[in-house]
Chain A
Amino acid sequence: MKILVADDSSTVRRVVSARLSADGHDVVEAEDGEQALTLARDLQPALIVLDKVMPKLDGFEVVRALREDPKTKGLVIVMLTDRRGEDDVLDGLGLGVDEYMPKPFSPRELSMRVDRALARRGDG
């Protein structure tokens, strides 16, 4: 499946891309919120892995914009975040984030969550 990875840290992007590519997905990278939004609209990926904190537009704003746009409303969203605390999980889920992955993270666990999220959407 086509997956968009958006994070301002190039290390994280590369690590996640390598992992997901090895899983057989077709990965595109974005380095800030604005680029993420543009690429999401143009390329219509099946899933987006999104960092919460990014320059230009941060994660929650991107989620809000994606859900408001009919073209990208159905996109599956997995969000990476630095913050601890359940408050953010709930906020995120309220907005329409499908999975929430706290940092520090394990790429293999991320890979499993991506598969799970895609499977869930496939059923629903």
Chain B
Amino acid sequence: MDSVRYVDAALIVVVLALLVALVTVRVRAQRRRTRLAVARERFETLIAARLVGGEGVPAPPPADLSALERGALRDAGIDALVELRGRERERVAALLEEGGVVDAEAQALRSAGPDRRRRAADVLGLIASPATHEPLRAALEDRDVRVRLAAARGLAELGQVDDEWSTTLIADAAAYEHRLGAVAELVLALGARAPARLASVYFNSGSSEVRRIVVAVIGELRLGQHVGILREALDGDDELAARAARGLGLVGDVESTESLLAVVRDPGRSWFVRAAASTALGQLGDPAAVDALAAELRAGEWPRRRAAAEALARLGPAGKAVLRSTAGLETEAGRHAVAALDA
């Protein structure tokens, strides 16, 4: 029990150490913040001036900038790049290049910590100027998969994608399962800038998750040129088919009406695929679907009934007629019909 004093002494030392640490860190952080704020303001004004004045506004010589200042230039530049579109964006990129930011980040791609490399790849991808191609390509060979993905996304944003590496990279990333979100971003970037590549990704990827993401992106971005993929995916497993059905509705592929009807009528399919197909039929608007959907009103699963009711409401007078006749009934189907008419 007497040794309690020693424990106390130790804890008092810890408390004092923490207090000292707290104060030191705060003071240093505050000083840094002030310097950063000054640099930041200077560069924001510079960027704004460059946007209005063009090349007439010179960039600061890279040799004159401290690491902190270059960081401020980079961050101000990134903020601008994220908000801007079009030719003005290129001007900011050029400014960053002249200010040595691209070189600094290319240098950072060789640093030891993967987080730093990943951030460098992100920044270069965002800047997306011709000068960033080379370092990003080199980063595709990085030993850390997240860095490779960040570099790939950057190149995808640049539209600089070729089949070979895009599919192997995505398959590679998908194998490292936790990064599914990053794969999704990459596929999204490909869809936005190089949509034609999505086909090769779809057909060459061994991962069902990746195919699902591709189908989702096609639907969300309404990439009509890939409707063939959607139609094919409708025959795939239920997860894939559900996404495909949703995509077909979003894209507005009226020719898929028959296939979608087949899905709705197929008792071997899961409830969520059939519900998704019903919703898509509602979006496509073909009255040929009315009978199948009317049958779905009495389906076993609640989501199927609701999807059918909502779809019928969008199928013109024939659909509404079915709803009205069902609405009178005191059944589940009746209630869904009432709701759908009401909406």
List A residues at the B interface (Cβ < 8 Å): 9-12, 14-15, 17-19, 22, 103-109
Contact = CB atoms under 8 A, between A and B. Distances in A.
Given A10-B40, A10-B44, A11-B80, A19 B51 contact: yes
Contacts of A22: 52
Contact of B49 (A12, A18, A103, A107): A18
B83 A9 contact: yes
Minimum-distance CB pairs A-B, first 6: A18-B48, A14-B48, A11-B79, A104-B85, A106-B86, A22-B52
Interface residues of B, number: 20
A105 B48 contact: no
A14 B84 contact: no
A104 B48 contact: no
Given A19-B51, A19-B52, A104 B44 contact: no
A5 to B, nearest CB: 11
Given A9-B79, A22-B52, A15 B84 contact: yes
A44 to B, nearest CB: 25
A103 B47 CA distance: 18
Contact of A108 (B47, B80, B88): B88
B29 interface: no
16 contacts: A11-B76, A11-B80, A11-B83, A12-B79, A15-B47, A15-B48, A15-B51, A15-B84, A18-B48, A18-B49, A104-B82, A104-B83, A106-B85, A106-B86, A106-B87, A108-B87
B83 A14 contact: no
Given A9-B83, A22-B52, A107 B45 contact: no
Interface string B111-123: 0000000000000
B144 interface: no
B177 interface: no
B138 to A, nearest CB: 28
Nearest to A80: B83
A86 B272 CA distance: 28
Nearest to B46: A14
A54 B74 CA distance: 23
A19 B51 CA distance: 8
Contacts of B48: 14-15, 17-19
Contacts of A10: 40-41, 44
A11 to B, nearest CB: 4
Nearest to B45: A14
Given A11-B76, A11-B79, A14-B48, A104 B84 contact: yes
A18 B88 contact: no
A33 B76 CA distance: 22
Most chain A CB neighbours (cut-off 10 Å) among B48, B49, B86: B48
Interface in B82-111: 82-89
A106 B84 CA distance: 6
B84 A107 contact: yes
A29 B40 CA distance: 17
